[in-house]
Amino acid sequence: MLPTLPLLNDRFLGAAAFRARVGTGYSLLPLRLIALDALRYVLTNFAGEHVVLPKAIARQFIRHELDSNSAVYDELKSKHFLLDDDSTVALDLLAVKYRTKQSLLANFTSLFMFVVTLRCDHSCPYCQVSRQSVDRHAYDMTIAAADRAIDFMFHSPSPAIKVEFQGGESLLNFELIRHIVTRVNDRNVLEGRDIRFVIATNLMCLSDEILSFCKEHDVFISTSLDGPRTLHNQNRPRPGGDSYEVAVAGIGRSREALGADRVAALMTTTEASLSQPVEIVDEYVRQGFNSIFLRPLSPYGFAVKTGLVTGYSIEQWLDFYRRSLEYIVELNYRGIPFREDYSSLILRKILTPYPTGYVDLQSPAGIGISGIVFNYDGDIYASDEARMLAESGDRRFRLGNLHTDSFEEVMSSDNLIDILSETMTECVPMCVDCGF
């Protein structure tokens, strides 16, 4: 005999009375799907929800044959892949989630990179920006160009602005950095934006004067650290062969002067790095960082000329990435909190309703409308990669020049708008159906 189910007092309606309105039919809400492997599809939507389903179930669902009593039906409904007569609030929630995902668009451009010089004392074979030797001042940005860049920058409506100084070795033109920071801050008294300055530097010419300036104006330092001493010195040659010692000493000094949270490091993966995932992560831990951004070589600049880009395959890179990540996960299990930044970005996209400020992996792409580059010669580029490409002759992503073009002209140029519309996966054929 079946056990009797406990009953509600008869003044209450049973669950079935409310369930009844679900009915038998349902509509599909906007979704995309792609095979994950031989057995499963992943279904995604534009608000960032996802469900992994066995292929047979996914087919049932798409053909409107899914049983509304099944657990998978409730999952698809809860994640807003289907709509039935139970409720209409899914549409409002989807709208809010989509708006949240795209919320940074409304702020427009917030990252402004100033290439204050192309000169550099290092001679890294993987250099992606085609650096120039230390004495060639023709490769410095002029004060006039910098001033026009500042005007340009304040045309952006973004309430938060990040000013990043790039090179070459940016500190070889510290006088211009000082000029720009001072001028931006003066202007910001009226503008009232939330401004953050970052200097990307190899720390070679770090001085007390520079540090005290950074301290005074709350400037962040971002440097390169490729891994342990031998690897770093091999990747980043300079006269004396001591780029590692320079970097590590500079990191220490900067932290002491500015605070640990004001100093970040980036790594670049060369062929020599591939065999040292554990050593590289350990070096970051040893230097007191709590995260690492694992980055492959980009196919620009010297990296192409020297053949380094073809030095390893995508499979080799992925293998390196996996091994590094496994080790990082292991560190965390051991109680050492440590993050891999690229994975964090991806996971944030997959697991939360929030956007990332990262200019890649966006629809539309972040080029121009999220970040923009002012080159040393006044040329304006859609991204860091765009100016790297231009150095090797391809000026496709050049949007204009500070001396001749206004903010409006640059931002509404066919050059920019064409690229942007090509990166909107919502409307590009093929992309619009891609589950990823």
Partner 1 sequence: MIKLHGKMPKRDDGEPFVVRVVRGTPGSPLAGDREAYILGPDEVAPPGYRAYLSAGGAHLQSPGQTRVIWPIPEELSYLSDGDIVRINPKTGELWVVYRRSSPFNAMLLTERCNSNCLMCSQPPKAGDDSHLVKAYLDAIPLMAPDSAELGITGGEPTLLGGSLLQVLRACKEHLPDTALHMLSNGRLFNYLSLCREFEAIDHPDFMIGIPLYSDIPHRHDFVVQAAGAFDQTVRGIMNLARCGQRIEIRMVLHRETVDRLPQFARFVARNLPFVEHIALMGLEMMGYVKMNLEALWIDPVDYRQQLRQAVDVLRQHDLNVSIYNHQLCVLDRVLWPVARKSISDWKNEYIDKCRECAIQDSCGGFFASSSLRRSAHIAAFQSHEVCSPIAGVKKQVSNV
Q: Which is nearer to partner 1, 22 or 428 (by Cβ)?
A: 22
Binding-site size for partner 1 (CB under 8 A) equals 32
Residue 436 engages partner 1 in binding (rule: CB under 8 A): no
Interface pick for partner 1 out of 17, 38, 106, 190 (rule CB under 8 A): 17
Q: Which stretch, 215-223, 288-296, 309-317, 348-356, contacts partner 1 (CB under 8 A)?
A: 348-356
- Applying the rule CB under 8 A, the residues between 55 and 74 that interact with partner 1 are 74
Residue 21 engages partner 1 in binding (rule: CB under 8 A): yes
Taking CB under 8 A as the rule, which mask of x and - marks residues 206-245 in contact with partner 1? Answer: ----------------------------------------
Tell me how far CA of residue 436 lies from CA of 33, 80, 132, 267, 351, in angstroms: 8, 17, 40, 27, 14
**Burial class of residue 213 in the structure, from the number of CB atoms within 10 Å of its CB (0-12 exposed, 13-18 middle, 19+ buried):** middle
Interface pick for partner 1 out of 67, 75, 209, 422 (rule CB under 8 A): 75
Residue 318 engages partner 1 in binding (rule: CB under 8 A): no
- Applying the rule CB under 8 A, the residues between 272 and 301 that interact with partner 1 are none
Concatenated DSSP letters for 337-366? --EEHHHHHHHHHHHSS-----SSS-SS--
Residue 133 engages partner 1 in binding (rule: CB under 8 A): no
- What 3-state class would DSSP assign to 208? helix
Residue 355 engages partner 1 in binding (rule: CB under 8 A): no
Residue 22 engages partner 1 in binding (rule: CB under 8 A): yes
9 sits in which H/E element: none
Q: How far is the CB of 98 from partner 1 (least distance, A)?
A: 12
CB 116 within 8 A of CB 173: yes
CA distance 216 to 220: 11
Residue 7 engages partner 1 in binding (rule: CB under 8 A): yes
Residue 87 engages partner 1 in binding (rule: CB under 8 A): yes
Residue 106 engages partner 1 in binding (rule: CB under 8 A): no
Q: How far is the CB of 100 from partner 1 (least distance, A)?
A: 8
- What's the token pair of residue 187? 């202007």
- What's the token pair of residue 22? 């679900």
Residue indicated by tokens 């702020």:
107
CA distance 392 to 264: 29
Q: Which is nearer to partner 1, 340 or 405 (by Cβ)?
A: 340
Handedness of CA 22, 24, 29, 35 (dihedral sign): positive
Listed as own residue / partner, the contacts of 213-218 with beta carbons closer than 8 Å and 24 or more positions apart are: 213/178, 213/181, 214/254, 214/257, 214/258, 214/262, 215/257, 215/258, 217/181, 217/182, 217/185, 218/262
Residue 103: CB atoms within 10 Å: 12
CA distance 117 to 53: 52
Interface pick for partner 1 out of 3, 11, 192, 408 (rule CB under 8 A): 11
Residue 19 engages partner 1 in binding (rule: CB under 8 A): yes
Q: Which stretch, 7-15, 155-163, 171-179, 204-212, contacts partner 1 (CB under 8 A)?
A: 7-15
Interface pick for partner 1 out of 2, 9, 261, 333 (rule CB under 8 A): 9
Residue 276: CB atoms within 10 Å: 20
Q: Which is nearer to partner 1, 50 or 162 (by Cβ)?
A: 50
Interface pick for partner 1 out of 70, 230, 352, 421 (rule CB under 8 A): 352
Interface pick for partner 1 out of 15, 106, 189, 430 (rule CB under 8 A): 15
Instruction: By CB under 8 A, name the binding residues for partner 1.
Output: 6-9, 11-15, 17-19, 21-22, 49, 74-75, 77-79, 86-89, 92-93, 96-97, 351-354
